[in-house]
Amino acid sequence: MIEIKDLLARFSNILLSEEGKKKVIRDVISETIWGEIRLEDIKIKNNTVYLNIKPIYKNEIFLKRDKIFSLLQESLGKKAPEDIR
């Protein structure tokens, strides 16, 4: 019989991977635009990153979009997001 803790362990791995993914995204963006983004400002839904930041930082991110996506592809591989909004 499967114990509940074993079932919940699967979900904790999923949650930890999302937090790890957010940290990698934050690090790549911070390295590229020389600004600091909080983890609370990053949301990932349907392989799209939503940023809740000031428009001036978003413009900088969109200008350097190709570099950010190449760095994310190197770091995350197949789990890299497809779009940033």
pLDDT digits (tens, 9 = 90+) for 1-35: 567 766 666 665 555 478 888 888 899 898 888 87
Q: Is the pLDDT of residue 53 over 70?
A: yes
Q: If 0-12 CB within 10 Å is exposed, 13-18 middle and 19+ buried, where does residue 50 land?
A: middle
Model confidence at 63: pLDDT above 90: yes
Q: Shortest CA distance to 29 belongs to which of 19, 17, 41, 18?
A: 41
- Let me know: does 82 contact 48? Beta carbons within 8 Å: yes
- For 49, other C-beta atoms within 10 Å of its C-beta total 21
pLDDT of 20: 83
- Segment 56-85 mean pLDDT: 87
Phi, psi of 52, rounded to the nearest 5 degrees: -105, 75
Q: pTM of the entire structure?
A: 0.76
